[in-house]
Amino acid sequence: MDFTYTEEQKMIKDAARGFLEKACPNVEWYLDMDKDEKGFTPELWKGMAELGWMGIMFPEKYGGIGGSFLDLVVLLEEMGYAAVPGPFFSTVLLGGLAVLEAGTDAQKNDLLPKIAEGKCLLTLALTEAASTVYDPFFIETTAKAAGDNYIINGVKLFVPDANVSDVIIAAVRTSGTTGDKDGISLFLVDSKTPGVKTTLLKTTAGDKLCEVIFDAVTVSKDKILGSLNGAGAVITRVLQYAAVGKCAEMLGGSQKVMEITVAYAKERVQFGKAIGVYQAVQHHCANQKMAIEGSTYITYKAAWMLCNGLPATRIVASAKAWGSEAYKKVAAIGHQIFGGTGYIVEHPMPIYSRRAKAAEYAYGNANYHRQLVATELGL
Amino acid sequence: MAWDFGILKEEEAYRQKVADFLDKELTEEIARQSWEDLGLDVEGRAFAKKLYAAGLMGWSWPVEYGGKGLPPIYDFILIDELGKRWGAHVPNDVAYTMVGHTILRRGSAEMKKEFIPQIIQGEIEFGLGYTEPEAGSDLANMKMTAVEDGDYFVINGQKTFNTESHYSEYHWLAAKTDTKVSAYKGISLFIVDQRAPGITIRPMITMSGERTNEIFYDEVKVPKNRLVGEKNKGFYYMMEALGSERNYVFVPSRYLPYLNMIVDYAKNTTFKGIPLAENPMVRDKIAQIAVEIDMSTLLADHARWMEWNHLPMTCEPEITKVFVSEMEQRMVDSAMQILDQFCQLKEGSKWAPLNGRMEWEFLHSFMTTIGAGTSEVGRTVIAQRGLGLPRG
Ligand SMILES: Cc1cc2nc3c(=O)[nH]c(=O)nc-3n(C[C@H](O)[C@H](O)[C@H](O)COP(=O)(O)OP(=O)(O)OC[C@H]3O[C@@H](n4cnc5c(N)ncnc54)[C@H](O)[C@@H]3O)c2cc1C
């Protein structure tokens, strides 16, 4: 066993910390990004591309730097720490990894180098309105064959960053019935194709979740990603990466919250003493620490298992079940210790607590993932 | 007679009268101005006067100032009925449920004559001026000073988180009148004209979009007759009022609209053809929300009952406060789990469930365990005042 980072990972971490501190300068900037239609700046995106982040996990022949999923997780942890906005997660984890997992050579050659350069943004259009309880396989959107093309019809919801994406990977039903895992296919849809309509939803985190309507969208059959009707396994795999990636972001966010909270507990004086002297406050901080210790090891273990191709269904679900609740709890404690000041919109706390809420529901909340664990237990 | 949870016929008649009036007159817009602390503006202030004109304000207040001289339960009924309809507070909340009672207890005859009728008539509101940057939980650590100078006190310093002040006529202000003695013995309360020269009010916007204020006093002259009660007794008056204030401010009926909303949602939303209402997890979560609202209603009823029977309250209103404020956070969390991904959609967004109310309540809920005293300090009060545990 080894609970340390590699030298390269330490370098990734330091570089990310330094870059993001400058790139995300202050709370006003975050609030601007919340309001901004795109939610990020061209400079930020360019800087990240120059550091090679988008291609961190792609093989060198596709313009990447040939790192592992663990390296990506290290980076995502820093992104969560900085609460960086923008389409990195959707482009790299939902888009890039789907292409890497399932793409043909031609598709990989076409897309991965562009993604690595920051010149192509992707996302995955998966969940739908009828999924009032999160279920990524509850897919009613259809693609019907028409000669060499397919015609896509349907509505997708909570599609991250679709408003800025060049390519939207649409998960559609090509056979079977709505709830089936089989019969789903993925299509690489150019977002400018006639009939694709994207509407930004207003969210608590100010992140850019969208409704995407596919209204008789024509796509040629060489845009199928992976096998016809066989996308279930690809989606499962991508969602495992996404869940663990989200855990890494949540872990980073929790650490930042704990850091500023503990610093404040040492500095804020009431009743003649730093509030960190009071046991009620100490216990809160200790609870933050305990939650985060758990998140750290379960996130890295899940990433390690995915990285090494070990069966990871249960650990991934455990990680997201734990992490979703842990981040929420850590953020709530942060608010409690900051008192009134943390409730003011210009304070960093709301940036984190609002993102904790979004992250809790991304790729299934704790209830959803506990159900997966229960299934793994044979229940 | 012991153990009686009913209310009298006359009380029920009043409740019905209030309910009928509110069902007709309380618009969503007015209710939300009060609930969201946005500031009451024109409609909200007009609504306070309307309530008075309909003969529904002041039943629990002394006859000589225009009230009916009845027990506090009438005011509690009023607040509960407002709460059931999103009208979180009486429109001039600080005046009617907090400040007014201290004026009645401690103000001079002249002060009562000037202010109480206006409060009952919904004409005036106060901003609560206690908290300062260095004085949150530790209120006695306030730095604002009021120095006697002829017929006036001259006040200097800064307040923060004074919520209603941007639309209030008056500031209910605590300041140091003796800096040489222990803080508890050197604070006085004042009624200050909120627009007096030398006062600057700056907005502070919260994460849920509510407005509160920081307020700066620069050589503000306050006439001596605006000192409340005796000089240097202010801290004592504040503490004396605290239990009663909690009884009026932490109102469990306020959560019923949320409960009703989520019940409707569960009945009317299906997944795979089955109503959410049949999902065991959904049923359990909603039932728990209801259990806690029922429970908190009883905690509140008990503490209020003590108040109107003049029984000494030690920690009972504090129990209500801590419980209700934490319940609010649990309620939001459970309700959001039922809304699942949709919970994060804001009012005005396409697909937002329940008009985005639960999302707003999520943002708001972070303040409930902080404002008006934190849960940590509250538990210390329960342990020390309620249970007699030693002070650290
Ligand atoms: C939305 C909002 C509206 C408000 N409106 C008003 C208003 O109209 N008028 C007004 O005067 N004030 C108002 N307040 C201020 C409110 O009363 C204070 O925020 C509250 O008293 C807590 O003070 P603080 O924020 O300075 O936190 P602090 O006192 O600094 O507390 C920080 C943390 O330390 C803990 N702590 C402090 N002392 C102890 C101790 N001895 N033991 C254990 N833990 C301790 C607290 O529990 C908290 O977790 C408002 C606040 C908010 C958020």
Cβ distance B272 to A179 less than 8 Å, yes or no, reads yes
Same domain, A199 and A243: no
B206/A contact by beta carbon, under 8 A: yes
Phi-psi region of A40 (alpha: psi -120 to 50; beta: other; left: phi over 0): beta
DSSP H helical ranges for A272-365: 279-307, 313-338, 348-361
Same domain (yes/no): A44, A94: yes
CATH of the domain at A49: 1.10.540.10
Residues A358, B344: C-beta atoms closer than 8 Å: yes
Asked whether residue A2 is assigned to any structural domain, the reply reads no
Q: Are residues A242 and A199 in the same domain?
A: no
Query: What is the CATH number for A150?
Result: 2.40.110.10
* Ligand 1 atom 16, closest CA: B371
Q: Kindly report the protein residue whose alpha carbon is nearest to atom 17 of ligand 1.
A: B372
Same domain for A11 and A96, yes or no, is yes
Whether A131 and A115 map to the same domain: the answer is no
Share of chain A above pLDDT 70, in %: 100
From atom 32 of ligand 1, which residue's Cα is the shortest distance away? A339
Q: Over the stretch A23-56, which tens digit does the pLDDT of each residue have?
A: 999 999 999 999 999 999 999 999 999 999 999 9
Task: Give which of B211, B340, B363, B389 to mutate to test A binding, by max A Cβ within 10 Å.
Answer: B340
Of all residues in chain B, the one with the smallest CA distance to A371 is: B281
- The per-residue b/e assignment along B145-161, b for 16 or more CB within 10 angstroms, e otherwise, is bbeeeeeebbbbbbbbb
What is the DSSP secondary-structure string of A142-160? EEEEETTEEEEEEEEEEEE
Structure confidence at residue B37 (pLDDT) = 60
Residue A21 within a domain = yes
* Tokens 């504090």 belong to residue: B318
Q: What is the DSSP string of A110-151?
A: HHHHHHHTT---EEEE---TT-SS--TT----EEEEETTEEE
pLDDT, residue B44, reads 79
Whether residues A214 and A261 fall in one domain: no
Q: Which residue has the tokens 């201290």?
A: B102
Would you give the end-to-end CA distance of chain B in angstroms?
41
Q: Which of A230, A249, A277 is the last residue of a domain?
A: A230
User: What interface predicted TM-score (ipTM) does this complex get?
Assistant: 0.97
pLDDT reading at A364 higher than 90:
yes
| Residue B362 vs residues A320, A366, B262, B340: alpha-carbon distances, Å | 21, 18, 14, 13
pLDDT in tens, B83-109: 999 887 778 889 999 999 999 999 999
Residues A139 and A185: their CA atoms lie apart, in Å, by: 10
Mean pLDDT of A344-361: 98
Quick check: A211 pLDDT over 90? yes
Is the CB of residue B287 less than 8 Å away from at least one CB of chain A?
no
Based on the structure, what is the number of domains in chain A?
Answer: 3
Task: Examine the domain organization and report whether A367 and A291 are in the same domain.
Answer: yes
Per-residue H/E/C for B353-369: HHHHHHHHHHHHHHHCC
Task: Name the residue with higher pLDDT: A106 or B47.
Answer: A106
DSSP H or E segment with residue B173: strand B170-176
Tell me which residue of B173, B184, B161 sits closest to B126, measured CA to CA. Answer: B173
Question: Are the CB atoms for A203 and A357 separated by under 8 Å?
Answer: no
Number of H helices, E strands in chain B: 13, 10
8 Å CB contact of A345 and B346: no
Same domain, A271 and A165: no
Residues A39 and A81 in one domain: yes
Whether residue A48 lies inside any domain: the answer is yes
d(CA A331, CA A324): 11
A330 closest CA partner among A10, A80, A133 = A80
Structure tokens given for B62:
């002394």
**B149 in reach of chain A (CB within 8 A):** no
Cβ contacts of A153 within 8 Å, gap of 6 or more: A141, A142, A144, A214, A215, A216, A217
Identify the domain boundary among A93, A120, A147: A120
Does any ligand 1 atom lie closer than 6 A to the CB of residue B376? yes
CB pair distance less than 8 Å for B350 and A199: yes
Domains, chain B, with CATH or none:
9-91 (no CATH), 128-236 (2.40.110.10), 250-386 (1.20.140.10)
B122 phi-psi bin (left φ>0, alpha ψ -120 to 50, beta other): left
Instruction: Give the Cβ contact number of residue A59 at 10 Å.
Output: 14
In a domain, A1, yes or no: no
- The Cβ of residue B312 has, within 10 Å, a number of other Cβ atoms equal to 7
Cα A124 to Cα A80, A93, A330, A358: the distances in Å are 21, 9, 29, 17
* The total number of residues written for chain B in this structure: 392
DSSP-assigned letters across all residues of A217-228? EEEEGGGEESST
| Ligand 1 near B208 CB (within 6 A) | no
The answer to whether B144 touches B215, Cβ cutoff 8 Å, is no
Query: Quick check: A343 and B346 CB within 8 A?
Result: no
Chain B nearest-CA residue for A158? B341
For residues A268 and A287, membership in a common domain is answered with yes
Nearest-angstrom CA–CA distance, B150 and B69: 38
CA separation for the pair B388, B392 (Å, rounded): 12
Which H helix or E strand runs over A254?
A: helix A231-267
Q: pTM for the complete prediction?
A: 0.97
Q: Specify the CATH number for the domain of residue A239.
A: 1.20.140.10
User: What Rg, from alpha-carbon coordinates, does chain A have?
Assistant: 21
d(CA B12, CA B1): 19
- Could you tell me if residue A318 is inside a domain? yes
Q: Do A343 and B141 touch (CB under 8 A)?
A: no
pLDDT of A327 over the 80 cut: yes
In a domain, A68, yes or no: yes
Q: Whose CA is nearest to atom 4 of ligand 1?
A: B161
Same domain, A237 and A371: yes
Is the pLDDT at A260 greater than 80? The verdict is yes
Domain final residue, candidates A89, A120, A151: A120
Same domain, A112 and A130: no
Share of chain A above pLDDT 90, in %: 98
- Give the helix ranges, DSSP H, for A51-104: 69-82, 88, 97-102
**B327: enclosing H helix or E strand:** helix B316-339
Block residue for tokens 């942060």: A334
Optimal mutation site among A28, A35, A127, A133, interface B, most CBs of chain B within 10 A: A133
- CA quadruple A38, A41, A45, A50: dihedral, nearest 10: 170
Coil, helix or strand for B1? coil
Burial B201-225 (b: 16+ CB within 10 A, else e): beebebbbebbbbbbbbeebebeee
Q: How far apart are CA B238 and CA B219, in angstroms?
A: 24
Q: Do B205 and A344 touch (CB under 8 A)?
A: yes
Nearest CB neighbour to B340, from listed A179, A269, A365: A365
| φ/ψ (deg, to 5) at B235 | -65, -40
Regarding the beta carbon of B371 and ligand 1, being less than 6 Å apart is answered yes
From B271's Cα to the closest Cα of chain A, the distance in A is 6
Contact residues on chain B for A361, CB-CB shorter than 8 A: 340-341, 343-344
Nearest CA in chain B to A136: B341
How close is the nearest chain B Cα to the Cα of A230, in Å? 22
Contact yes or no for B271 and A340 at CB 8 A: no
| Alpha carbon of A341 to ligand 1 centroid (Å) | 9
Ligand 1 pocket, A270 CB below 6 A?
A: yes
User: What pLDDT score was predicted for residue B222?
Assistant: 98
Asked if residues B217 and B147 have their Cβ atoms less than 8 Å apart, the reply is no
Low-confidence ranges of chain B (pLDDT < 50): none
The answer to whether B358 and B336 are in contact (CB under 8 A) is: yes
Domain that holds residue A28: 7-120
Tens-place pLDDT, residues A125-180 = 999 999 999 999 999 999 999 999 999 999 999 999 999 999 999 999 999 988 88
